[in-house]
Chains A and B, each alone.
Chain A
Amino acid sequence: MNLQLPPLGPIMPEIFMTSLALILLMADLFIKKKEVLAGASILGVLVVAYTLIGSSGSTFGGMFISDGYSSFFKAIFFINLILSVLISIKYIRIERVNFGEYYSLIALSTLGMMIMASAADLIVLYLGLELMALSTYILAGFIRYDIKSNEAALKYFLLGAFSSAFLLYGISLIYGLTGTTSIKAIASFISEKGLVGNPALSLSMTLFVVAFGFKIAAVPFHMWAPDAYEGAPTSITAFMSVGPKAAGFAVLGRVFMIAFASIKFEWTFLLIPLSILSMAIGNIVALAQSNIKRMLAYSSIAHAGYALIGVIAANTDGVASMMNYLMIYAFMNIGAFAVVIMLRTEGFKGENITDYEGLAKTHPFLSALMLIFMFSLTGIPPTAGFIGKLYVFMSAINAGYTWLVLVAVVFSVISAYFYLRIVMYMYMREPKIEVGTSKSGTLGVALGVTAVMVLAIGVYPKCLVELARAALSGF
């Protein structure tokens, strides 16, 4: 019997991440000042990020792969983690849930995302997905005494379990059909045996669309998102609007572009209505929201629709533009949530859109930052949001989906209404109530980093665009 260990190089970041999560959990017992844990988790992630360099290759018999594609997504996850922790530190104190396991759970959830991005096998994929999801359910319900937070967690959990069932059903169908769970082997089996057109294969693919559609919160599998986003602690809303969504796109890209490459026509056919519906429902229902977290939840649904267009283009340019979009989305969305968190003070929720009335008069600097994020979410140059949309749309036009881009542009215009409404409230209304802000150094760092990145990518997009393209070289 061969008991030799497989090469651990490719999986080193995940090993370090696991250690980090466990160390944080242990250290929580001894350390009274939980801010130390926050600092430790950021430092730890930087170490993990360092191990990512030079970790390329595949291991565990090809079940786990570390390539440019996975590394790009892992970079998004690390950024997501660091920014979320930065905006959490003061916030969870205000919410009176300053517990150490918070940081450990964030690390575990990120570990799940990393495994998803690196999964070259459907079983590993499922493992990562569940690890990510379970940790996020707990985080969503982290404000134990708050009924809304509990509700968010429970709904997210129930529907998440429901969607997992679809994923497992899809995996078992494909296993029954091809006898393998390896993504590459599935692809070659389908093309060798000429399975294209097989209804069981199509059914299995459809079930993958459902499960991944749930993770990225695409319509009609989005219903959990507004309730979960609204009820969850705001810092976690920021975290889960970026991380799990990006992880969902990571597996979506890998499974569909590789395993189902030969039935490209069929899955693009399903993703198109998903994308259009997401943009439509996301942008239209956002108009009717009075709670900014709910508005951003619908906005996040709409952005999943835009990013899907890149996948629909179904070529390397399209996937690169989708990766690009998610990176940009991470910065602009967490930036917007950071502003929302800033308005949360002791005894004041600051979640109503009307709380932003006249903010420019009392907090001009914060308002200017919010303006940048809202412009970016709308897609107005010279912000990063414009670049993200531009490349997604361009890849779709080159792939022959001009009409889809036209639809997307129309919904972008509609989205301007509710994003710019915030700007209008801030700059053109008189303040009605006294709105305080909870200032903290770390929150300031997060705001500064996100704003600078949104503008820097908007002005100098070349680096990011080329990085995303280069990441796909071995894909």
Chain B
Amino acid sequence: MKYYLLIPFLPLAAFVINILFGRGLIRDKAHWISCLTIIGSFIASIITGIDVINGKIINEDLYTWIVAGKFSVSVGFLIDPLTAVMLFVVTGVGSLIFIYSIGYMHGDKGYYRFFSYLSLFIFFMLMLIMSNNFIQLYLGWEGVGLCSYFLIGFWYEKKAAADAGKKAFITNRFGDFGFALGVFMIFLTFGSVHYIPVFSEVKNIVGQTVNILGYEVNLITLIALLLFCGAVGKSAQIPLHVWLPDAMEGPTPVSALIHAATMVTAGVFMVARCNAIFNLSQVAMNVVAIVGGVTSLFAATIAVAQNDIKRVIAYSTLSHLGMMFLACGVGAYAAGVFHLYTHAFFKALLFLAAGSVIHAVGHNDIQRMGGLRKYMPITYLTMFVAALSAGGIPGLAGFFSKDEIIWSAFASGSLVGKFVWVLVTAVAFFTPFYSFRMIFLAFHGKFRGTHHEEHHLHESPPVMTIPLIFLALGAIGVGWVGIPEILGGGAHFAEFLKPVLGHPEFHGTHAQEWGIMGLSTTIAISGIIIAAIFYLMKTYIPIKLAQQLSPIYRLLFNKYYVDELYHHILIRPILWVSTRFIEGITDAKIIEGIVNGVPKTIGRFAVILRKIQSGVTQHYAIFMAAGVFILVALILW
């Protein structure tokens, strides 16, 4: 039996049932169907995963949707080690977030709608990762984007939420356009959109070029970079990162599920999946590594100066996604996917704990929190664990994956590798620093909010804290499957993925590996210590520092002014040109001529044609007779 089909189709069934009957019949019981189905998917994923571990790899077309000549679109599934890991992450973390949402969304008037969209999202996400061809991947890709748009703008009465939804959607258009072109190029080049034939034939086109506007461009590089465009949009890398922080307007479980654990990692998954293509283009690999590395440091520095608890975590997500790309870019795909896997746990936990805090405090501003630890001990402890794991403190999940990335970057031996190693080592300082800045400001010291707010402080209900505890266990332990050899582990994770992702060549000694590990650990711990000094002991330092380094602080606080930059170099000029130039001079003639004119002309035409329809039967008969004459004339001419 194809029980693996249950994995995507259970959530789809939940969506259909909830959207059809949620409003009238199910209402506040919508979570039952959604939660039970995703747990069902999780169990099926585990069973499938065990099969994969035992060496059973599934690659089959379920059915062919349409056939047009050579071009056939089919629904098919590929379940290999990479898919198995993703399935575990999506359904496992997804289940916990679904359960958490029961408490978080309790009493919301769109309760059934929320769970319908979540289930639909999971369906598309699963179709994306289980696909065996690029078209289905693209379908899932757009599907998760659509659900993300729905869920960011879930509270659409709030203007900021509706705007953020639009921003996410429009920003992703840029990336997806490139991605779609990439898929077209793949079909034109290989005559197939299925992974296996494409990946096995890609080595035959090494060195082929295409002529674009007079420039000879390497075909593989072109395809790889076009695909990467999609990843840049979906995984919010520079320069398309602007949508992700704004996406925090959505409900917090959405941020945890879509904008941390699953959808935004689709880009990393896609690059890893297409490693056969990327490996053959050094240019594309370098672009991936540098974009990832720069985004990672860039976002980490911004996170230092943010006061909105969710935005701190959002920038942290950008930073970690950058690290995953960086790993892929130096050929260490397994390290990237390993970090994707551990990150899903500790980042979902950070978000959910932040959601628990927001639930109690009622706002997002960490400057107006403080001392929460005695009111909400479980949230505090779990978030602390998540921060340690994210910061790369030895023994926790995040440490192993981060260490592997840092080591891979260093040991890749290339110049780009060394460059991104410097970047990621700097990130190793900032990550624990901003994580603990957030924790110290929110949970330690005295409560800085109003008395009214203080009165309401409480720990969240068990339906929310139990998922936190499970995720905390994950944030501690899920990395143990990938303990590197020098620490006495077997690097099982990388071994498991090796058939799909291969293994990079390392140029380094054990001594160097120890040294790198020691260095990054020292840096991470110093990050925590400095955060403690700044925000626990000598709280005047950060304020003074912000004053003395006011330009830098403002730069970070304003996120390097990228939004403003886009506003000035893209939106303003477009507006200016359109108001002054087009509206003033040519609008009435050219733009209106085209944009309104075409429909208007057609419309006018329609009105004229409509007059033929006079309502007089004799006219109709004459018209018919004229038609007959013309046809006879045509044929007998």
B635 at the binding interface (Cβ < 8 Å): yes
In this assembly, does A86 line the interface, its C-beta being within 8 Å of a C-beta of chain B?
no
Chain B positions 31-70 with a Cβ under 8 Å from a chain A Cβ: 63-66, 68-69
Instruction: Give the contacting residue for B606; candidates A214, A284, A461; CB below 8 A.
Output: A284
A401 at interface, CB cutoff 8 A: no
Contact B617 A159 (CB under 8 A): yes
**Residue B599, interface by CB 8 Å:** yes
| Residues of chain B from 320 to 379 with CB closer than 8 A to chain A in the complex | none
For chain A, what secondary structure do more than half of its interface residues adopt (helix, strand, loop), or is it mixed?
Answer: helix
B635-A285 in contact (CB<8A): no
B605-625 near A? 1/0 per residue, CB < 8 Å: 111011011010101110110
Q: Which of A202, A227, A281, A462 contacts B63 (CB 8 A)?
A: A462
Whether a CB of chain B sits under 8 angstroms from the CB of A158 is: yes
Contact of A269 among B602, B617, B634 (CB under 8 A): B634
Q: Within the assembled complex, what's the spacing in Å between the Cα atoms of A273 and B632?
A: 13
Q: Chain A nearest CB: distance from B140 CB in Å?
A: 13
Interface residues in B156-214 by Cβ distance below 8 A to A read none
A353 CB-CB contact with B under 8 Å:
no
Contact of B627 among A203, A205, A220, A288 (CB under 8 A): A220
Give min CB distance, A220 to chain B, whole Å: 4
Query: Do residues B626 and A220 form an inter-chain contact, with CB atoms below 8 A?
Result: yes
Interface pair A390/B609, CB less than 8 Å apart = no
Q: Does A453 contact B (CB under 8 A)?
A: no
A199 and B606: CB pair below 8 A?
no
In Å, the complex CA distance between A126 and B68 comes to: 38
Residues in chain A near residue B634, CB distance under 8 A:
269-270, 273
Q: Which of B602, B626, B631 contacts A209, CB < 8 Å? A: B631
Residues of B within 8 A of A398 (CB): 69
A461 touches B65 (CB 8 A): yes
What's the least CB distance linking B327 to chain A, in Å?
36
**Could you say which of B23, B68, B620, B632 contacts A203, with CB atoms under 8 Å apart?**
B632
B68 near A394 (CB under 8 angstroms)? yes
* Minimum CB distance partner of B620 in chain A: A223
Q: Which residues of B contact A154 (CB under 8 A)?
A: 617
* B residues near A207, Cβ cutoff 8 Å: 628
Q: Does B25 contact A (CB under 8 A)?
A: no
A364 in contact (CB, < 8 A) = yes
Interfacial chain A residues near B631, Cβ < 8 Å = 206, 209-210, 270
Bound form: Cα–Cα A163–B627 in Å:
12
Chain B positions within 8 Å of A462 at CB level: 63-65
Q: Is the CB of B636 within 8 A of A199?
A: yes
Asked if A266 is at the interface of the complex by the 8 Å CB criterion, the answer is yes
What is the size category of the interface that chain A forms with chain B? 35 or more
Is A166's CB within 8 Å of the partner chain B?
A: yes
Pair B621/A461 contact, Cβ less than 8 Å: no
Interface presence of B603 (CB below 8 A): yes
What size tier do the contact residues of chain B reach?
A: 20 to 34
Which residues of chain A in 141-187 are interfacial with respect to chain B, using CB atoms and an 8 Å cutoff?
154-155, 158-159, 162-163, 166
Which residues of A lie under 8 Å from residue B630 when comparing CB positions?
220
CA distance A415 to B584 in the complex (A): 32
Q: CB distance A223 to B613 under 8 Å?
A: yes
CB-based nearest A residue for B607: A288
What distance in Å separates the Cβ of A225 from its nearest Cβ neighbour in chain B? 10
Asked if A417 is at the interface of the complex by the 8 Å CB criterion, the answer is: yes
Task: Say whether, besides A206-B635, A269-B634, A390-B66, A287 and B603 are in contact (CB < 8 Å).
Answer: yes
**Interface pair A206/B602, CB less than 8 Å apart:** no
Residue on A with the closest CB to B631?
Answer: A206
Q: State whether A390 and B632 are in contact (beta carbons under 8 Å apart), knowing that A223-B613, A227-B615, A288-B610 are contacts in the complex.
A: no
Question: Which residues of B lie under 8 Å from residue A266 when comparing CB positions?
Answer: 635
CB distance from A365 to the nearest CB of B (A): 8
Q: Are A461 and B66 in contact (CB under 8 A)?
A: yes
> Which residues from chain A contact B621 at a C-beta distance below 8 Å?
158-159, 162
Q: Is there contact, CB below 8 Å, between B602 and A284?
A: yes
* Across-interface contacts of A461 in B (CB, < 8 A): 65-66
Rounded to whole angstroms, the CA-CA distance of A198 and B602 in the bound complex is 41
- Does any Cβ of B come within 8 Å of A459's Cβ? yes
List residues of chain B with CB within 8 A of the CB of A166: 628
Contacts of B610 in A (CB 8 A): 285, 288
Q: Is the CB–CB distance between B613 and A226 below 8 Å? A: yes
Nearest opposing residue in chain A for B613, CB measure: A226
CB distance from B147 to the nearest CB of A (A): 16
List of A residues within 8 angstroms of B606 by Cβ: 284-288
If A206-B631, A206-B635, A269-B635 touch, whether A163 touches B603 (CB-CB below 8 Å) is no
Contact A287 B602 (CB under 8 A): yes
**How far apart are the CA atoms of A265 and B617 in the complex, in Å?**
34
Q: How far is the CA of A154 from the CA of B618 in the complex (A)?
A: 12
Closest to A223 in B: B620
Contact of B620 among A159, A390, A417, A459 (CB under 8 A): A159
Please, how many angstroms separate the alpha-carbon atoms of A29 and B544 in the complex?
98
CB-CB contacts of A264-297 with B at 8 A, as 1s and 0s?
A: 0010011001000000010011111000000000
When C-beta atoms are compared, the residue in chain B nearest to A162 turns out to be B621
Query: Which one of B20, B23, B603, B627 contacts A221 once the chains associate, using CB atoms below 8 Å?
Result: B627
0/1 string, A105-139, CB within 8 A of B gives 1: 00000000000000000000000000000000000
For B602, B624, B626, which residue has the most chain A Cβ atoms within 10 angstroms?
Answer: B624
Q: What is the bound-complex CA distance between A375 and B62, given in angstroms?
A: 26
Residue among A221, A270, A273 making CB contact with B624, cutoff 8 Å: A221
Q: How far is the CB of B620 from chain A (nearest CB, A)?
A: 4
CA distance A459 to B74 in the complex (A): 11
Is A387 interfacial (CB-CB < 8 Å)?
A: yes
The interface residues of chain B lying within 8 Å CB-to-CB of A387 are 66
- A288 to B601: give the CA distance in the assembly, Å: 12
Residues of B within 8 A of A287 (CB): 599, 602-603, 606
CB atoms of B609 and A285 under 8 A apart: yes
Q: Which of A197-245 contact B (CB under 8 A)?
A: 199, 202-203, 205-207, 209-210, 214, 220-221, 223-224, 226-227
Chain A residues 382-438 with CB under 8 Å of chain B are 387, 390, 394, 398, 414, 417
User: In the docked arrangement, what's the CA distance between A281 and B606, Å?
Assistant: 8
Q: How far is B634's CA from A365's CA once the two chains are assembled, in angstroms? A: 50
Interface digits, B572-613 against A, CB 8 Å rule (1 contact, 0 not)?
A: 000000000000000000000000000100110111011011
Q: Across the two chains, which residue of chain B brings its CB closest to A220? A: B627
Expressed in whole angstroms, the Cα–Cα distance for A460 and B66 within the complex equals: 9
Instruction: Assess the B624–A288 pair: CB atoms within 8 A.
Output: no
Whether B602 lies near A163 (C-beta < 8 A) is no
User: How long is the Cα–Cα vector from A435 to B624 in the complex, in angstroms?
Assistant: 40
Contacts of B66 in A (CB 8 A): 387, 390, 461
Give Cα distance in the complex from A417 to B635, angstroms: 35
A223 touches B635 (CB 8 A): no
Known contacts A210-B627, A226-B613, A461-B65: A414-B602 contact under CB 8 Å? yes
> In the bound complex, do residue B602 and residue A155 qualify as a contact, i.e. CB atoms below 8 Å apart?
no
In the complex, the answer to whether A284 meets B609 with C-beta atoms within 8 Å is yes
Are A220 and B635 also in contact (CB < 8 A) when A284-B605, A461-B66 are?
A: no
Across the two chains, which residue of chain B brings its CB closest to A277?
B627
Q: Which residues of A contact B617 (CB under 8 A)?
A: 154-155, 158-159
Chain A residues at the B interface, C-beta cutoff of 8 Å: 154-155, 158-159, 162-163, 166, 199, 202-203, 205-207, 209-210, 214, 220-221, 223-224, 226-227, 266, 269-270, 273, 281, 284-288, 364-365, 387, 390, 394, 398, 414, 417, 459-462
Given contacts A207-B628, A220-B626, 16 further A-B pairs with CB under 8 A are A202-B635, A202-B636, A206-B631, A210-B627, A220-B623, A220-B630, A223-B612, A223-B623, A223-B624, A273-B634, A284-B602, A285-B610, A287-B606, A288-B609, A460-B65, A462-B65
| 13 contacts across the A-B interface (CB closer than 8 A) | A163-B624, A210-B628, A223-B624, A227-B613, A281-B609, A285-B609, A287-B599, A288-B606, A365-B20, A390-B68, A394-B68, A398-B69, A417-B599
Chain B positions within 8 Å of A, measured between CB atoms, are: 20, 23, 63-66, 68-69, 599, 602-603, 605-607, 609-610, 612-613, 615, 617, 619-621, 623-624, 626-628, 630-632, 634-636
